[in-house]
A and B are shown apart, each in its own frame.
Chain A
Amino acid sequence: MKIFQKQVKQLSDEELMKMLSKGNQKAFDEIYVRYSEILFGYFMKMLARDKEKCEDMVHDLFAKIIRKPDYFDVNRSFRTWVFSVACNMCKNEYKRMSVRKHVSNDFEPTKSIQSDSDTLKKVHESTFSDSFYEALNSLDEKHKSVFALRHFEGFSMKEIAETLQINEGTVKSRLFYATKTLASELKEFNPIYNQ
């Protein structure tokens, strides 16, 4: 049994997917071990750290892998494929969220504009982490996904281009835009400006 487990661990993602499509439970377990945490972290960063929703997203993604393993092209990288599925799921979730936001805006009372003192207080109280994810979630989906894949998942430009099915120049320009936007929004945390 241990020998079999070692063999499974030594296999590539693509080989595991071949075995998974034939109904191999061990292959599925190994794929889950390799990617569940990574995908959960990706969803957490992309979906404003809503833990329950992100768990559901991870479940849905692996359920898709179980039900439709044939959708995966064995000649393609599993890593880029599974993240492209995750990106598409995030896109759909953003659409749903925007619909809910529009609907809820019709019924919510108008909020009073926060004063400068409130903003400053909030900035000082919040940590960099909260502000960073808030700023990240304020970006639109295409810039956010490029930034997350590059800086959180360690994807190269080529892998991002393959995952999102865009060319590398577009990846680069989106990444620069996202970096500049985040840097300008988080400049309050820079000790140079606080002095």
Chain B
Amino acid sequence: MEEKYIQIFSKSSFQELTNDEKSFISELCSNEEEFENVKHLYSGMETLSNEPFRLNSDSVKSQLDQEFKEIHANEGGFRLFSFLFPPIKPLYAKPGLQIAFLLVFVFTLYYSLNNMTIDNETKQLYSQNQVEENEGPEKPKEVSENKAEIEMETTSDELVVESNSSPVLVENDRRVLPTEIISSDLMAAEMSEDVEEDSFFDEGILLESSSVPSPTATAMAISGLDRAGGIEDKFIIEPIGEDLELLEDLFVTF
């Protein structure tokens, strides 16, 4: 195609062109004026193409050789080093230094965070230890005191049980339980009609006979008053005795 163009434009004038040649170049030049212009341009460009452009090759080539050596010189065992610290790149753009800065940042961040947590933990541990040191020696004492009390109570209860050997006093075995539970048991025992009736009606008889303890005495024994200081003779509720007026309100007539 190019050779055909050259042949066409080598002709002297537009009139010499055949119809096929004119149609072939119609896209480029449609009339004689345009044909002459293009022809002149091509002839002028033939002189231009011979115009030399001389590159100052030495300075450019020496710079390029230096770069080539810097990149490829360390290809033996130091490829990683040359990758991390390429000589051409500026200092801040060297991957090795960038990685080093990143690692320093990460480690400082990690250790700073870690130290913060360690401080808190040590503080917590230190405070816990102080609390344990303060409370530690007392607790065993309390425990030992409680144990001693419990032992004392159990021994006293055993003594009571042994001395009285009453079916009512079997409940005293549970006195090791807390007082609330005991009081609830006592309430249950009091709510039972048999015991109450017996306690009310046989009280006079029971009081007289020293061998069988009265319910009030049992109650006193349960509530621990006998332990308080030997006040076995005192009653919480006054005994009815012969004063029957106290019983007036208790009887309901239908």
Is A182 interfacial (CB 8 A cutoff)? yes
Q: Which of A55, A128, A172, A186 contacts B55 (CB 8 A)?
A: A55
Q: Which of A56-64, A114-122, A138-146 contacts B (4 or more CB under 8 A)?
A: A56-64
Contacting A at CB under 8 A, from B32-83, are 34, 36-38, 40-41, 44-45, 47-49, 51, 53-57, 59-61, 63-65, 67-69, 71-72, 75
B29, B48, B57: the one contacting A36 at CB < 8 Å is: B57
Question: If the complex has contacts A58-B55, A152-B49, A176-B28, are A36 and B41 also in contact, measured as CB distance less than 8 A?
Answer: no
The answer to the question of A67 belonging to the interface, with a C-beta cut-off of 8 Å to chain B, is yes
From B29, B45, B51, A151 is in contact (CB under 8 Å) with B45
Q: How far is B61's CA from A23's CA once the two chains are assembled, in angstroms?
A: 16
Taking the nearest CB of chain A, how far is it from the CB of B74, in angstroms? 10
Name the interface residues of A27-65: CB closer than 8 Å to any CB of B: 28, 32, 36-37, 40-41, 44, 54-55, 58-59, 62-63
- Whether A190 sits at the interface, judged by CB under 8 Å, is yes
A190–B33 CA distance with the chains assembled, in angstroms: 11
Total A-B contacts with CB atoms under 8 angstroms apart: 93
Partner of A59, one of B28, B54, B64, B75: B64
Closest partner residue, chain B, to A24 (CB atom): B72
Q: How far is A156 from B36 in the complex, measured between Cα atoms in Å?
A: 24
Residue in A closest to B49 when the chains form the complex, CB atoms: A152
A32 touches B44 (CB 8 A): no
Among A37, A44, A186, point to the contact of B41 (Cβ < 8 A): A186
CB distance from B7 to the nearest CB of A (A): 16
* Docked-complex contact B36 and A36, CB < 8 angstroms: no
Is residue B27 contacting chain A, with contact meaning CB distance below 8 A?
yes
Question: When A23-B75, A180-B34, A183-B37 are in contact, do A55 and B60 touch as well, CB less than 8 Å?
Answer: yes
Q: How many residues of B contact A (CB 8 A)?
A: 35
B-side interface mostly:
helix
Q: Which of A28, A128, A172 contacts B68 (CB 8 A)?
A: A28
Q: Does A184 contact B (CB under 8 A)?
A: yes
The answer to the question of A129 belonging to the interface, with a C-beta cut-off of 8 Å to chain B, is yes
- Known contacts A66-B67, A66-B68, A186-B40; decide if A40 and B28 are in contact (CB<8 Å): no
Q: A23-B72, A23-B75, A66-B67 are in contact. Are A179 and B41 (CB under 8 A)?
A: yes
- B44 touching A128 by the CB < 8 A rule? yes
Asked if A3 is an interface residue, CB under 8 A from chain B, the answer is no
- What is the bound-complex CA distance between A40 and B88, given in angstroms? 23
Q: Give the complex CA separation of A184 and B55 in angstroms.
A: 32
One of A36, A37, A54, A59 near B63 (C-beta < 8 A): A59
Chain A residues in 8 Å Cβ range of B63: 59
* CA of A13 to CA of B85, assembled, Å: 30
Given contacts A37-B53, A44-B53, contact A190 B72 (CB under 8 A): no
B45 touches A132 (CB 8 A): yes
How far apart are the CA atoms of A173 and B230 in the complex, in Å? 130
**Contacting B34 at CB < 8 Å: which of A23, A66, A132, A183?**
A183
Q: Are A32 and B56 in contact (CB under 8 A)?
A: no
A149-171 CB contact bits vs B (8 Å, 1 = yes)?
00110001100000000000000
Q: How far is the CA of A59 from the CA of B164 in the complex (A)?
A: 120
Bound complex: CA of A41 vs CA of B61, how far in Å? Answer: 16
In Å, the complex CA distance between A44 and B53 comes to 8
Known contacts A37-B53, A186-B40; is A32 also within 8 Å of B64 by CB? Answer: yes
Which residue of A has the minimal Cβ distance to B35? A183
Give the chain A neighbours of B53 by CB distance below 8 A: 37, 40-41, 44, 54
Chain A residue at minimum C-beta to C-beta distance from B45 = A151
Q: Give A37 to B69 CA distance when docked, in angstroms.
A: 22
Point out residues on B near A: beta carbons under 8 Å: 1-2, 27-29, 34, 36-38, 40-41, 44-45, 47-49, 51, 53-57, 59-61, 63-65, 67-69, 71-72, 75, 88
Q: A62-B60, A187-B40 are in contact. List 17 more A-B contacts (CB 8 A).
A: A23-B72, A25-B65, A28-B64, A36-B57, A36-B61, A44-B53, A63-B64, A128-B44, A132-B44, A157-B1, A179-B28, A180-B28, A183-B37, A183-B38, A186-B40, A190-B37, A192-B40
